[in-house]
Amino acid sequence: MNLGRRLIALTGAIVMAGASAFAASIPAQAFTTIPATGIFTFTTSPGILPAWSSADIVLVGISPGGVTTTTYDTSATVTLPIQAKTFTANATAGGFRFLNTRTNQSVRCQVPTIDTRARVVDCVLADGSNAEIFAITEIRSRTKINNDDSKSTLFTGIELRFASSAITDRLNRDLSTTVFSPSVKVAVGDLLVTR
Do 18 and 49 belong together in one domain?
no
Q: Same domain, yes or no, for 159 and 87? A: yes
Q: Are residues 79 and 8 in the same domain?
A: no
Tens of pLDDT along the chain (195 residues) come to 454 454 444 444 443 444 444 445 555 555 799 999 999 999 999 999 999 999 999 999 999 999 999 988 899 999 999 999 999 999 999 999 999 999 999 999 999 999 999 999 999 999 999 999 999 999 999 999 998 889 999 999 999 999 999 999 999 999 999 999 998 999 999 999 999
Judgement on whether residues 1 and 72 belong to the same structural domain of the protein: no
pLDDT of residue 26: 54
Is the domain of 11 the same as that of 69? no
Amino acid at 63: S
- Based on the fold, state whether residues 6 and 39 are members of the same structural domain: no
Residues 8 and 62 in one domain: no
184 in the same domain as 115: yes
User: How many degrees, rounded to 5, is the angle at CA 146 between CA 140 and CA 151?
Assistant: 80
d(CA 158, CA 150) in angstroms, rounded, equals 23
Give dist(CA 62, CA 83) in Å, integer.
Answer: 15
Residues 2 and 54 occupy one common structural domain: no
| Count of the separate structural domains present in the chain | 2
Residue type at position 183: S
CB contact burial 156-172 (16+ within 10 A = b; e otherwise): eebbbbbbeeebbebbb
pTM: 0.83
Residues in the chain: 195
**What is the reported pLDDT for 2?**
54
Q: Are 82 and 117 contained in the same domain?
A: yes
19 and 49 inside one domain:
no
The amino acid at 4: G
> By residue range, what is the domain housing residue 19?
1-28
Considering the domain architecture, whether residues 67 and 141 belong to the same structural domain is answered as yes
Q: How far is CA 107 from CA 7, 45, 48, 110, 173, in A?
A: 50, 20, 17, 10, 10
